[in-house]
Amino acid sequence: MIRLRYWFKYLLLVIFGLSIVVSQPFLTSAQTVNKEAQQQKEANLLTQRGQKQLDIGQAESAFETWQKATKIYQKLRYEDDITGSLINQNLALQALGLHYWACNTLLSALKLEANASLCATKPQQPTDKMEKLLTATINKQTLSPVNLLGLHNLAEVLRRLGKLDESKKVLSEILSVAKWIPSIDTSGILLSLGNTNQDIYKQARNQYLEIEEPVFQKEFVNLIQKYALESLNTFQQLINSLNTPKEVQLQAQLHHLSLILDFEKWLAVESKLGNPKLASLHTRINQQIQPAVDLLLKNHSDFSRLPASYYVYAKLNFAKSLNKIPDKQFHSQAIEYAESALKMAKSTNSQRLQSESFGTLGKLKLEQSQPYFEEALGLAQSVHAWDLAYEWQQELGILYKEQGKYKEALQAYSAAIENVTLVRNNLLSTNTDLQFSFHEKVEPLYRDYMRLLLTDSNPNFSEIIQTNERLQVAELENYLQCRKLNLVAFNEIQNLATSPTIIHIIDLVDSVEVISQSPKQPLHHHSIESQLIRGHINNLIDTLQDKNLAYVGADVILDHS
């Protein structure tokens, strides 16, 4: 009996021991699942936190937060979540203006690192090779919502890099694919297509100002109309559709009004040249302004649907558009919208958003503009937003000049030019606004600075020459749509047999300044009213461009010189 009892006791111990051994893998598996769930929960919380940070304008913090989320998803090997998290990183990088990095992040998300040439900042003419590359890139992707979102973002960042044809190609391709997936909302893709066409319009309009040959001018006039109307039609399609989400509809309305005002202004100038088709189109576009404004005023409550940062930009956008309309009532409403944007910007703690809001109010409240511009400048400098800083410095330079504070004005203009150069030379970012508004924003900055330098009783001609050379390089870079050109000034070329005399001819619109630079001689300056010579120059250009130039006598050409 004793032995039997002991055997029974040992049998129980063995069974219990075996049960522990057998259950151990299940316990380990449960612990692994639990740990994985905790990691996933942490990554999801980081993803949500990053979105909140981006919504209130904290793009840098959002990027860092999403980097942490990506690392966790990579450990878990959750492919869709990795892709989505990298797309989020791209959004933060775009908000920071780092579009080249954003583009490469998207290539990584879509597993297309081998196609890095898509993101190259060096401008490329559209080629069959690039068309095929883009088509192959899209065809390689599985038709999942996250991959289509990645391709949509790729098109957006290509647009911001100034690669407009490539952006349009990607958008057109994914639109044709997305229509086969019922769950995909294409309104955002259509909005991007409208924005890309709008940028192509701006690019063509900018290039048109640099063309003097009548044949090419006519071609660009047609292109400008084509892309403006295409973009307007896309925005109108989104506005009219009942299926368009309110947030997208509001953005379409804002872009639609902005483009109408810009296109109307261009048509007003061009129709005066006697083109009856443009005059008719100008009348039609002009009639669309009031209904577009009324629609936005009617739907003002839709602004509150937007995240904080988008709310600020949307209201500032509308304020700027309202201010372009010559009506006191619209001007008052523009101030109200800008003040509302500033209030929201302050609640976000974003210095950039506040800087843009203060600067916009400075342009609207002309009698109180100086403190607004000074506040805007300080905020921009605090976050190294040089693309904003130059604009506020330029505005302060104009104010100081009007007040007779020439020393302060010179300092403001000089600093603005330095910041424009800094922005244009930054290979890690891009600013298409500087490209598309070069003749409206950048050129006047250089010329106003040179005019101000000439008002001094003892002008600094060396500084004027250097500024003019920098303007010429900036004009060339803008025309070529490229980054920094490493050019050497003629007088800096080494080992020349003889030191040449250099004649600098500087066009300041109202006057033409001629400065001669001879070896071992002081600089000599002569000023001529431009109206005395501009007619002769235009006639000479027309003669040289005439198709019958071969039959024109030398005396006719000499008459214009």
- What residue has token string 């980081």? 46
pLDDT tens-place values along the chain, 561 residues long: 444 444 444 444 444 454 444 455 555 566 666 888 898 999 999 999 999 999 888 889 999 999 999 999 999 988 899 999 999 999 999 888 888 899 999 999 988 876 667 787 655 545 667 777 777 777 777 778 888 899 999 999 999 888 898 899 999 988 988 877 777 889 999 999 999 999 999 989 988 887 777 777 888 899 999 999 999 999 999 999 999 999 999 999 999 999 999 999 999 988 887 777 888 899 999 999 999 999 999 999 999 999 999 999 999 999 999 999 988 889 999 999 999 999 999 998 889 999 999 999 999 999 999 999 999 999 999 999 998 999 999 999 999 999 999 999 999 999 999 998 888 776 555 666 667 778 888 899 999 999 999 998 889 999 999 999 999 888 887 777 666 666 666 556 666 666 778 888 888 888 998 999 888 788 889 988 888 877 777 777 777 777 777 767 777 666 655
Q: Of 114, 72, 67, which is closest to residue 91 (Cα–Cα)? A: 67
State the pTM of this model.
Answer: 0.84
Give the number of residues written for the chain. 561
pLDDT of the residue at 429: 55
**Residues in contact with 462: Cβ distance below 8 Å, sequence separation at least 6, in sequence order:** 523
Q: Which helix (H) or strand (E) holds 339?
A: helix 328-348
Interatomic CA distance for residues 356 and 379, integer angstroms:
9
Phi, psi of 124 (to 5 degrees): -130, 140
pLDDT of the residue at 434: 67
At 18, list the tokens: 């075996």
- Cα radius of gyration (the chain): 31
What interhelical angle do 461-480 and 443-454 show, nearest 10?
A: 170
Judge whether 523 and 516 are in contact, CB under 8 Å. yes
DSSP 122-165: S-----HHHHHHHHHHHHTS---HHHHHHHHHHHHHHHHTT-HH
Neighbour tally for 320: CB within 10 Å? 18
Interatomic CA distance for residues 224 and 528, integer angstroms:
35
DSSP code, position 275? -
Edge-first strand listing for the sheet containing 511-517: 502-507, 511-517, 524-529
pLDDT of the residue at 272: 84
Residue type present at position 197:
N
pLDDT of the residue at 8: 45
